[in-house]
């Protein structure tokens, strides 16, 4: 991808979304695109007819019917982030839920609700009330641009719904989208005052429990100076209570909530995107990163983390390896036979770190849903994705969240520094001395019909023994080794441990090529060139 000349600079007026027009399209525009659940719910934009009020109403009605079919009798936690469409969609969803007499819990004062907080609240409720299981709906398109919206369903497991649930909901929502008159709703003013809608404080219980997953007393004693950029996201009002409760020196460098995200610096492609793993989107924090011992940011629904250590934004794979290495050495109460979960497109340095610690890796396709069951049953200690999302068990070895948690992952960086006296980037440097240095990258390109057909018909076994960048391919899979689930593409491993993976995107018509080289940047570039030719013939 060519770097946009404005990348890392403040968004000019021409890039700022017209919020009035966006909301008009949400309420009055036609749904031109069917409901489609990707790796994390349904996403789209009102401008494109892919996220309009009928989509949200149909999906919410489908969730109601699904939870009834499963016998879930507890409340549904309804949360939303700071995107403009999230506010509207939250209201639409509440109108549908109330009309169906679903007991619904919303945040006090209609406060924004981060994804990990909803996961935490679901699990806490179900621990105390197993006879009346709760679930949740979260309105968010994650780090996507301001004009986008998203909606996802978390069942009583607390994490992203599995493919059976999302398949059922997607199919039923598609049917309802064609007959909107069958969807029951009540006006918003009635929904907000309904007897089965309860407003609760979401912030205090989560903040109080954070000390069970990260050693915040240790962080407090170290008197670290921490900087936080919420990137205008749903966790913005959590940091002051966290600092006050745990005695932390936290500076929120930008407390602004603006649905246009006009304060953002542009991402690599020139779009406004709240991607805390991008140095271009995090440019504002990077400019002042040296004012703090550590600084970090999160995306709008707080399921991702970005760590500024030594004045630089850590590569997400590097921080995952660092976090895992530290946790395995500093959580003595964790189950001894449990594994570390990673997606198969995450760095293989993680595999080496885990093996070196005497543990096993549980490698899955892309999507956090593959870690939910293991985290819930404590057969997984940690689940992490290459896209800067992860969560892990409490210090006593019990479940924390089963969805990605940007709070615990950022605060863990502070614990690492407080405990070891070394910043996360320094620890990663020592890991590379032991396990090797890699060059990692991803190339996205348009997915053509011929590419799709070639990938579907490709015999992966034929890759083994072939040469790629001059090295022999020793393994090739179409199923993840951890759970034998289809990866929707393929992964091939070379003799030195370098690898490439090719898969269609779950959210857009793109094909993604991931490459990691243990033999330098030139070797990575050669793998990138050879891989497409080997698989797609181009």
Residues annotated catalytic, as ranges: 142
Strand-by-strand arrangement of the 294-297 sheet: 249-252, 225-229, 294-297, 306-309, 312-313
The conformation of residue 460, written as its DSSP 8-state character, comes to: G
3-state DSSP assignment of residue 222: helix
Tokens of 238: 């959590």
Tokens of 277: 């793993």
Within 335-405, residue ranges assigned H as helices are 348-356, 372-377
The conformation of residue 199, written as its DSSP 8-state character, comes to: E
C-alpha 237/C-alpha 421 separation (Å) is 29
Helix axes 348-356, 316-330, angle to 10 degrees: 10
Cβ atoms within 10 Å of 12's Cβ, excluding its own: 11
Going by C-alpha positions, the residue among 434, 235, 431 that lies closest to residue 314 is 431
Provide the strand spans (E) within 178-266.
197-200, 225-229, 249-252
Cβ atoms within 10 Å of 71's Cβ, excluding its own: 7
**Are 285 and 253 spatial neighbours (Cβ–Cβ below 8 Å)?**
yes
The conformation of residue 493, written as its DSSP 8-state character, comes to: E
Q: What are phi and psi of 328, to 5 degrees?
A: -65, -25
């Amino acid at each position: 991808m060519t770097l946009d000349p404005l990348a890392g600079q403040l968004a000019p007026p021409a890039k700022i979304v017209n919020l009035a027009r966006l909301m008009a399209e949400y309420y009055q525009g036609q749904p031109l695109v069917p409901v489609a659940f990707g790796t994390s719910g349904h996403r789209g934009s009102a401008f494109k007819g892919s996220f309009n009020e009928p989509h949200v109403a149909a999906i919410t009605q489908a969730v109601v019917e699904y939870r009834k079919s499963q016998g879930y009798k507890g409340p549904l936690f309804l949360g939303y982030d700071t995107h403009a469409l999230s506010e509207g969609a939250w209201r639409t969803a509440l109108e549908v839920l109330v009309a169906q007499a679903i007991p619904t819990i919303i945040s006090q004062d209609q406060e924004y609700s981060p994804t990990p907080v909803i996961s935490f609240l679901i699990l806490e409720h179900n621990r105390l009330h197993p006879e009346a299981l709760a679930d949740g709906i979260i309105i968010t398109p994650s780090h996507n641009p301001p004009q986008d919206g998203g909606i996802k369903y978390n069942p009583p497991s607390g994490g992203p719904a599995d493919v059976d649930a999302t398949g059922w909901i997607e199919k039923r929502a598609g049917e309802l989208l064609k007959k909107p008159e069958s969807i029951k709703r009540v006006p918003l003013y009635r929904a907000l005052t309904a007897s089965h809608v309860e407003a609760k404080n979401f912030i205090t219980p989560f903040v109080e429990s954070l000390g069970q997953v990260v050693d915040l007393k240790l962080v407090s004693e170290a008197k670290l100076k921490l900087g936080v950029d919420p990137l205008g996201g749903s966790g913005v009002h959590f940091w002051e209570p966290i600092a006050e409760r745990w005695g932390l020196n936290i500076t929120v460098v930008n407390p602004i909530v603006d649905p246009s995200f006009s304060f953002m610096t542009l991402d690599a492609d020139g779009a406004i995107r709240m991607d805390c793993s991008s140095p271009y989107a995090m440019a504002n924090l990077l400019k002042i990163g040296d004012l703090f011992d550590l600084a970090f940011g999160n995306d709008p629904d707080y399921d991702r983390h970005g760590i500024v250590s030594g004045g630089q934004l850590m590569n997400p794979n590097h921080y995952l390896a660092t976090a895992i290495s530290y946790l395995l050495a500093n959580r003595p109460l964790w189950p001894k036979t449990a594994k570390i979960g990673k997606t198969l497109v995450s760095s293989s340095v993680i595999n080496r770190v885990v093996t070196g610690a005497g543990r096993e890796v549980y490698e899955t396709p892309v999507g956090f849903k593959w870690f939910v069951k293991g985290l819930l049953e404590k057969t997984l200690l940690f689940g992490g994705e290459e896209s800067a999302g992860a969560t892990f068990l409490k210090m006593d070895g019990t479940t924390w969240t089963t969805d990605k948690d940007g709070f615990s992952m950022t605060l863990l960086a502070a614990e690492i520094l407080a405990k070891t006296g070394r910043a996360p980037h320094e620890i990663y440097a020592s890991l590379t001395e032991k396990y090797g240095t890699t060059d990692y990258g991803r190339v996205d390109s348009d997915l053509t019909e011929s590419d799709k057909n070639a990938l579907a018909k490709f015999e992966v076994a034929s890759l083994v023994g072939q040469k790629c960048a001059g090295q022999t391919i020793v393994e090739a899979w179409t199923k993840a080794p951890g759970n034998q689930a289809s990866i929707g593409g393929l992964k091939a491993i070379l003799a030195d441990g370098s690898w490439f993976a090719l898969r269609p995107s779950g959210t857009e018509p793109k094909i993604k090529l991931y490459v990691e080289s243990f033999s330098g940047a030139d070797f990575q570039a050669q793998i990138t060139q050879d891989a497409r030719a080997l698989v797609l013939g181009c």
